Amino acid sequence: MSVYAYTANTIRGQEVTLDKYAGKVMLIVNTASKCGFTPQYADLQKLYEKYAEREFVILGFPCNQFGDQEPGTNEDVHTFCQLNYGVTFPLFEKIDVNGSERHPLFAYLTDSKPFQGFDLAASSGRMLNAYFEEHFPERLEGNDIKWNFTKFLINREGQVVERFESPVDPLDLEAAIEPLL
């Protein structure tokens, strides 16, 4: 199985089968407009612009499951991303990434690349880990998405290669992306 087996609706409501991106390297990200990690949109856009000609695409999936940080409509999300970050990579409709209503794509992604913990060598990783230990220790268990801006790197065959947690800056992914291009 690969990500090509899944469909999703674009932010404009058009159903797309992910095999549309067959042969491309993908970065699939759950996003939010009112999160401390929201400025990652800027670096995601930079990555997209830098590597798009080399068959690289980013797919953004807005989600409101973490602190109600994506409360608007799909149109609100689209407008916010374009006006504030100049996002031109594909955005999809708001979805759930955890729980009984989670999108099947994210069930596949989290099954393929389990949660390995936050990078405690990085200050943002330590901060998020401490936040969870104090407020939501149960969320540190299992393979569910932990927060907004979890990133999954997909190779040209549609297989999940790596999972990067929220605190990992998109520009720090270049060393993982380049060998796949």
Q: Would you name the residues annotated as active-site residues?
A: 35
Distance of CA 73 to the CA centre of its chain: 18
Spatial contact of 114 and 165, defined as CB atoms under 8 Å apart: no
Candidates 67, 66, 45, 71; CA nearest to 56 is 45
Tell me the two tokens of residue 55. 């068959």
3-class state of residue 55 by DSSP: coil
Candidates 24, 29, 14; CA nearest to 173 is 29
Pairwise CA distance, residues 69 & 23, whole Å: 33
DSSP classification of residue 29: E
